[in-house]
Amino acid sequence: MTTGTAVQFGAGSIGRGFLAQLFHESGLEVVFVDVADSMVNALNQHRGYPLSIVGPGAETVRIENVRAVHGRDKGQVAGEIARAEIVCTAVGANALPFVAPAIAAGLLARHESHGPPVNILLCENLHDAASRLRQAVAEHLPEATRDEVLAKTGFVQAVVSRMVPVPTAGESAADPLAVRAEAYKHLPVDASAVVGSMPPISGVEPVADFEAYVERKLYTHNCAHAILGYLGHAAGYVYGFEALRDVRIAPLLKAVLAESSAALVARHGFPPHEQAEHVADLLIRFSNEHLGDTCIRLARDPIRKLAADDRLVGAARLCEREGITPRALSWGIAAALRYDEPDDPSAPELQRMLREMGREITLRRVCGIAPNEPLAALVDEAMDAATAGAKNAE
């Protein structure tokens, strides 16, 4: 059991519903940094909150010994960083440039007081979050000490897999601090990026081949979750767990996971039995109805998820590189292309592109798939079959 403080940028679902639990269990005081007045005030008033673990392993955990600092109070934030055992961000990729000045000020104060090295865990849904934050912080450090400060700071990427739904309006009204999450409690981090040593933290697992864990998360968890959302929405389901019970959807999802798993085993050397256990556990977690994950949330923003290096096309490309035909994945890509939720941030634009420019140009622009490629033929076949099936159902 360690002592000291963990500075947690972001008091949202992941910050309160996952990371604070790990720090709390490790004996650290959690100092949240957030810009929402109501959240900062509530945390400082109550100094704790309930975390409801739902589904298998259900329990209510009380996260104690917490407080909050407003993100606009740069001086106080810097002081907290100067004294912290560990720093962590879960603010969203777009917010990283805005937290960089305060982090730079804290690291500089730490350096000037001869403090030890510190590591910053990047719990962001962004592949190069660590390098982006490092660059942003560097821009706010004085040139004379910049290299020395950065040499004493680890920018450590993490893979966040715990599912923590955003509280409903009713839940927030009843208790603005309450949060619910699944029991899964593993946080792989990039061991090669650690500077000095990190305090022992519950659930944090430094791994040498970090890229393997990034790709496994993206091409199993993220990929399958998105496809479950697209297929579930097309079938008229509200929740992902409902779609998983459909005898037409479940076999296709398992085929998708079989393809991506085979590619991951071939590419990164995961033991086949370990990867099979990982997939089996994922399917159990996806079936957790208490999380209330909607198909619309899982499917959100198909243009981003169809990008050439993202969860769907990226998984298919990995299969191709390893000599595996991504047939089931092509059906997942086709389902994403057909996603027509009018309130989605990018689905209407995707449908407009398909109508006005056609499938061939859309595949090239959105997915990076050229018309003469085998993957294009597979997606075309899946799209045509899905369209015919929809017409027959009418």
Which sign does the torsion angle of CA 266, 268, 269, 274 carry? Answer: negative
How confident is the model at residue 376, as a pLDDT? Answer: 98
What are the tens digits of pLDDT across the range 172-229? 778 889 899 999 999 999 999 999 999 999 999 999 999 999 999 999 999 999 999 9
pLDDT band at 80 (very low <50, low <70, confident <90, very high): very high
Angle, in degrees to the nearest 10, between helices 313-321 and 374-393: 130
The share of the chain scoring above pLDDT 70, in percent, equals 98
The per-residue pLDDT of the chain, averaged, comes to 95
Of the two residues 175 and 355, the one the predictor is more confident about is: 355
Question: Could you say which DSSP state residue 370 is in?
Answer: -
Residue 124 — left, alpha, or beta (φ > 0 → left; ψ -120 to 50 → alpha)? beta
Mean pLDDT of the 234-245 span: 97
With 70 as the cut, is the pLDDT of residue 54 above it? Answer: yes
Quote the CATH superfamily of domain 5-208: NAD(P)-binding Rossmann-like Domain (3.40.50.720)
pLDDT band at 391 (very low <50, low <70, confident <90, very high): low
How confident is the model at residue 390, as a pLDDT? Answer: 65
- Start-to-end C-alpha separation, the chain: 62
Mean pLDDT of the 339-361 span: 97
pLDDT band at 147 (very low <50, low <70, confident <90, very high): very high
How confident is the model at residue 389, as a pLDDT? Answer: 65
**What are the extents of the domains in the chain?**
5-208, 211-393
Contacts 24+ apart (CB under 8 A), 62-67: 63/16, 63/20, 63/21, 63/24, 63/30, 64/24, 65/24, 65/29, 65/30, 66/20, 66/24, 66/29, 66/30, 66/31, 66/32, 67/29, 67/30, 67/31, 67/32, 67/43
Mean pLDDT of the 281-302 span: 96
Tokens of 236: 């008229």
Report the Cα 112 to chain-centroid distance in Å. Answer: 35
Q: How many CA atoms lie within 13 A of 104 on its CB side?
A: 20
With 80 as the cut, is the pLDDT of residue 324 above it? Answer: yes
Mean pLDDT of the 256-261 span: 98
Tokens of 271: 């033991």
What are the tens digits of pLDDT across the range 64-79? 999 999 999 999 999 9
Mean pLDDT of the 230-243 span: 97
Cα angle at 224 between 371 and 16, to 5 degrees? 130
Mean pLDDT of the 317-336 span: 98
How confident is the model at residue 392, as a pLDDT? Answer: 60
> CA separation (Å) from 297 to 184, 225, 254, 325?
20, 10, 21, 29
Separation CA 272–CA 310 (nearest Å)? 23
Quote the CATH superfamily of domain 211-393: N-(1-d-carboxylethyl)-l-norvaline Dehydrogenase; domain 2 (1.10.1040.10)
Residue holding tokens 């979050």?
129
How confident is the model at residue 1, as a pLDDT? Answer: 56
Which sign does the torsion angle of CA 90, 91, 94, 95 carry? Answer: negative
pLDDT band at 57 (very low <50, low <70, confident <90, very high): confident
Separation CA 334–CA 329 (nearest Å)? 9
